[in-house]
Amino acid sequence: MDKTNDAIDTKVNEILIPGDRYFPEGVTVSADGTFFAGSLNEGCIMRALPGAARMEPFIEPGVNGLVSVLGLWADDARSTLWACSSDAGNGRLAGSAPVGVKAFDLQTGTRKGSYDFPGGGFANDLTLDAEGNLYVTDSWTPRILRLCAGSQELDEWINSPQLGLDQWSLNGIDFDHFSNVIYVVNQKAGLLFRIAIEPDGSAGAVTLIQTSQELRRPDGLKVIGPNTLATAEGGAGGMSILTLEGDIANVQRVPAGLDGVTTFAMFQGSAWVVEGQSDHFWDPANAGPQAEPPFRIVKVSI
């Protein structure tokens, strides 16, 4: 959802992230306009206070078991910052803690909880539904984990081969409060799925959405209006807007010319896209020239 507050005047068009090995992946923004970004390499989280053009340290490396930080969610209702923590294998803290979801106080960064993935995996992105239940994608298996509101353990909400059996598949996810369903992308195959939520909260039917153009390594995913989604595309250096009619989506590409797009946050009607240069982190031997800091979060009109 777009966290819009018309009283906030954001004059900056990009937020710089210091550090030559930060490699940001996830980003989120709170209702007051504070942005948060996590580091794949360092295992820490930075923030930019409202209107700031530069990130500052917020949660130190490894706190609460952070390893490589991916998806983030600023949960204003519960004053909680949720973070996906996974072991990318090549980060500075590789091998130091289990994969899972970490919870911190949104204002102070104080640790609030830690929830391990049952059976391991790779926590990538997350979303909350209207009841406060948290859903997290596992990029190593075709499953979505759920942390029910008030629970202390993640459970397996859905595990379906229809979502893709290859490693590095499920990625961006969002809850559609307009229709009470979950949308999720398969990054490797470039596919979009809709998953029904049954009255008892269990996962229902999985529907493959036919897209008018291929999705190029879709990553972050957001519902931005009725029957309207946005996704960041690592393979296109920008974004796409998807307008749905039933089980078909018209894809309108929004070029941004960014290096290593991962995900984005919606704020005041614009997408704030992570230019993480992540190819240089995952496959430095084949990514061409070295990453060129500073890393950025860039405002993109959609």
pLDDT tens per residue, range 116-170: 999 999 999 999 999 999 999 999 999 999 999 999 999 999 999 999 988 889 9
Q: Which residues of the chain have pLDDT under 50?
A: 1-8
What does the pLDDT read at residue 5?
44
Q: What proportions of the chain, in percent to the nearest 5, are helix, strand and coil?
A: 5, 50, 45
What does the pLDDT read at residue 283?
78
Dist. CA 218–CA 206, nearest whole Å: 18
Indicate the DSSP class of residue 294.
P
| Among 154, 183, 156, 186, residue whose Cα is nearest residue 168 | 186
Q: Show the DSSP H helices in 54-213 as ranges.
A: none
What residues are paired with 251 via a beta bridge? 242
CATH C-level class of 14-301: mainly beta
What does the pLDDT read at residue 10?
55
Dist. CA 36–CA 78, nearest whole Å: 16
What does the pLDDT read at residue 215?
95
Dist. CA 193–CA 221, nearest whole Å: 11
* Whole-number Cα distances in Å, 301 to 61, 253, 264, 266: 33, 12, 12, 10
Q: Domain limits of the chain?
A: 14-301
Q: Please state, as a whole number, how many other Cβ atoms lie within 10 Å of the Cβ of residue 113.
A: 14
